[in-house]
Amino acid sequence: MIDARSWKKKRAARFGLWFLYVFTAGGVFITGGCGASDGDAEKTANVTYIALAAKVRGLDPGDIGDTTSSAVAAQVFECLYEYHYLKRPYELVPRLAADMPSVSDNGLVYTIKIKSGIYFTPDACFGKKPHKLTAADFVFAWKRIADIKYLSKNWWIFDERIVGLDEFREYTKNCKTAADVDYSRPVEGLQTPDKNTLVIKLKRPWPQITYMLAHLPTAPVPVEAVRYYGKDIVNHPVGTGPFRLAKWHKGSYIELVRNELYRERFYPSEGEESDRQAGFLSDAGKPLPLVDSIVMVIVQEDPPRWFLFLNGKIDASGIPKDNFGEAIDRRGGLTDQMKHRNIHLEVFREPSTYWLGFNMEDEVIGSNRPLRLAISHAVDRQKYIELFTNNRGETALGFIPPLMKSYDPEIRQTAGGYDPARAREFVKMARAAAGGELPRLTLSIPGTDAVSRQQGQFFQHCFEQVGLDITTDYMDWPTFQNKIKTKSAQIFMLGWIADYPDAENFLQLFYSANESPGPNNFNYSNAEFDRIYELASAMPECPERTAMYRQAERIVVEDRPAVFLMHGVAYLLHHDWVHNYKPHAFGYGTAQYRRIDVEQRLRYGR
C-alpha cells in the first residue's frame, strides 16, 4: 500500500526536477546564440557610434527645433558659416561662404560671396542632373521659413529683420494652400546679383546675423527636394555636407555615410596652445571627414546608455547622475576604474544659466523687491549644485555665463550670495512693504519625477529657513510651458542655454517687448534696461558694447526678477580610440573631425 504523503512527496520532487529541467533547457535554448555579438566586424570599421538621448523628429533644417534632430541634420547640411572647431573663445569661420560678409557702413547691407563648385548630395529628386549650390538656394530656404503655410518653428530668426521678408510672409497668409505660394515673388532684402553672391538688406542693424548664418535652420535646401518629397522631406535630407543619410530606422538608429562627392575640406591647422599638447592638431590638414560613417542609436534611458558606453559600443557619453560616483572621484578626476578602461574625461563650460524666475506681473512678488531679494539670499546655490548636479555647475549670481566674453566677475558684489541672516532682514522689509503677513508663495517645477520633488523640497527648506511660506506645484513640461506663456506662474524653475556666443542672447530674455508668450518669461520691464539693450544689441562687438552688456546685467540683478542659481559645466567621457574629441558648446556637426583608431577599439575589453 502506498502512503499518500510519501506519494505526494515523490511527485513533488519529480515535478520540481522536471520544471528545473524545462527552465534550464528553455534558458539555454533562448540564450543560445543570443549573447552579445563579438562585433569584430563593426569594431574594425572606421565608424563612430553615437547614442542619441531622444528620437529624431525630422531632418528638414527649416523646421528643426530640437537638439537631437539638429545633431543629426548638422552632419548632412552646411551653413554659410560655422564655429572654428578648436579656437576658443568661439570664432566664426566661412563654411559655404567664401569669406566673412562684407558689411555696409550703416550695418544694414551684408554681401556674402558663396564658394563655387559645391554640389548637393546626389538624390533622386535631381534626376540625372546634379544641383550646384547657388545664392538662390539660400533665398529659397529662407523664403520657405517665412512661408506661413510651411509652419516653420524658426520664423523667430527672421521676424522683423530682413527688408521685404515680413511682407512675403503676409502674402503667404492670403494664399489658400501651400501649393499656391509663389516663391519667385521678389523679396527686396534678399538679392542675388549673380549666382554666387547673396545680398541681405536688414531693416535695422543686426550684428548677430552672422551667428544666425551658422545656425542650422538657415542651411540651403534645394527646391527640387522640397517639390519631390513634399511633406516627406523630413525623412529625406538633401544637403551639401560631409555625410549623407544611408539608413533611418525610425525610433532605432540612423546611419550616415561619407558623401563621396564632398569637396576638399581639411582639418584645421590652428587652435589653442593646449590643443597641440592634447593632440588635437595632429590631424591638421587631413581631408574631412575623418570617419567613413556615423551610426547614431537612440537610447533614451540612462542605464542602457551607460552600459553601452562601458561595453565599448558607443564612443562617448555623458555621465548619468546615478553613475557619477563610479566615474568621477572626490577630486573631480576619473576613478581608477575609468582610468583602467582608458577612458578620457573632458570638462567644459556650457553657455547656460539656470534660475528661479519671478513673474514680475504677479501682484505679490512683482511689486515687492525686498521679497525677491530675500528669496535670492535664502537659496543655498552651492548646496543645490552639490545635491542635484554632482557639482557639475558654477554658482550663478548674474545671468551671463563665464564662457561669454562679456561675463562680469564683479557681478557677485552687486548680487550677494547665500546669506540667510540677510534674507531674514529682507523678509521683515518685505512684510512691511506688503503691509502685513506675506501670503503663501507658489513655486512651479517642470517635472513630476523623484528628482523634481527633491528639488522642490530643497527650495521649500531654503524658504522656510528664512520664514517664508511656500508650496510647490509639480507639473509636466507642456503644462509648465503653458503656465509660463499665460503669465500664470508666480515663481518658476527654468534656465537658458545660449544659441550663440553673444550675451545679447541672454539679454533679450529681459527685454520688455519680449514678454510672455515671448522669451521674457519674467515679464520684466525696465526702461533703462530696454534703452541699453536696444543700443547694445545693434552694435558690433567692441569694448563699449561689452560695458553696456555688463551695465544691463547689473540693472537686472539690482531688480532681481530671478534667483540665478548656476551655470552648467559638462563632463563628457570618451574612449581612447576616439581622437580629436574637443567638446563644442555651439557646433553640432562635429563628428567629421573625429578620428577613430579601429585597432584600439578592437583591443578594448579583450
Residues engaged in binding another protein (CB under 8 A): 8-9, 11-12, 15-16, 19, 22, 27, 30-31, 33-37, 39, 41-42, 55, 57-58, 63, 65, 148-149, 151-156, 159, 173, 231, 234-235, 247, 249-253, 255, 295, 297-301, 303-304, 307-308, 310-311, 313, 476-479, 481-482, 485, 514, 517-519
- Of all residues in the chain, what percent are helix, strand and coil, respectively (each to 5)? 40, 20, 45
CB of 87 to another protein, least distance (A): 29
Please report how close the Cβ of residue 250 comes to another protein at its closest, in angstroms.
6
Task: Say if residues 154 and 217 touch (Cβ distance below 8 Å).
Answer: yes
Shortest gap between Cβ of 595 and another protein (angstroms)? Answer: 22
- In the block, cell 546608455 appears at 305
Closest distance to another protein from the beta carbon of 517 (Å): 7
Q: How far is CA 500 from the centre of its chain?
A: 11
Helices (H), 213-356: 223-229, 273-277, 302-310, 324-327, 336-340
- For the bound state, the minimum distance from the C-beta of residue 19 to another protein, rounded and expressed in Å, comes to 7
The verdict on whether omega for the bond into residue 193 sits within 30 degrees of 0, i.e. cis, is no
**Nearest CB to another protein, comparing residues 8 and 383:** 8
d(CA 396, CA 152): 34
Give bridge partners of residue 395 from the DSSP assignment.
Answer: 566
Kindly tell me which of 57 and 405 has the beta carbon lying closer to another protein.
Answer: 57
- Distance of closest approach, residue 485 Cβ to another protein, in angstroms: 6
Q: Which is nearer to another protein, 300 or 337 (CB)?
A: 300
To another protein, the closest distance from the beta carbon of 129 in angstroms equals 29
Of 173 and 330, nearer to another protein (C-beta) is 173
Residue 478 contacts by C-beta under 8 Å, 6 or more apart in sequence?
Answer: none
The nearest distance, CB 302 to another protein, in angstroms, is 10
In this complex, which beta carbon is closest to another protein, that of residue 106 or of residue 174?
Answer: 174
Closest CA to 306 of 320, 293, 294: 320
Q: Whose CA is closest to 378, among 418, 415, 413, 412? A: 418
* Closest distance of CB 599 from another protein, Å: 20
- Nearest CB to another protein, comparing residues 226 and 411: 226
315/596 Cα distance (integer angstroms): 9
Please tell me whether the peptide bond between 205 and the residue prior to it is cis, using omega within 30 degrees of 0: no
CB nearer another protein, residue 172 or residue 191 = 172
Closest to another protein by CB, 516 vs 546, is: 516
C-beta of residue 313 within 8 angstroms of C-beta of residue 49 = yes
Pairing mode, if any, of strands 316-318 and 343-349?
unpaired
The answer to whether 190 and 200 are in contact (CB under 8 A) is yes
For another protein, the closer of residues 9 and 276 by Cβ is 9
* Spatial CB neighbours of 59, under 8 Å, sequence gap ≥ 6: 69, 72, 73, 76, 234, 235, 236, 237, 245
Number of Cα atoms under 13 Å in the Cβ half of residue 130: 12
Q: Kindly state the smallest distance separating residue 207's Cβ from another protein, in Å.
A: 19
C-alpha cell at 446: 517642470
Q: Residue 347 or 451: which CB sits closer to another protein?
A: 451
Nearer to another protein, 302 or 419 (CB): 302
Kindly report the backbone phi and psi dihedral angles of residue 578, in degrees, each rounded to the nearest multiple of 5, phi listed first.
-95, 115
Tell which residue, 376, 355, 356, has the closest CA to residue 425.
376
Tell me the DSSP string of 394-445. Answer: EE-SSSS-TTSTT--TTHHHHH----HHHHHHHHHHHHHHHTSPPPPEEEEE
Q: Are 153 and 237 in contact (CB under 8 A)?
A: no
Based on CB atoms, which residue is closest to another protein, 217 or 398? 217
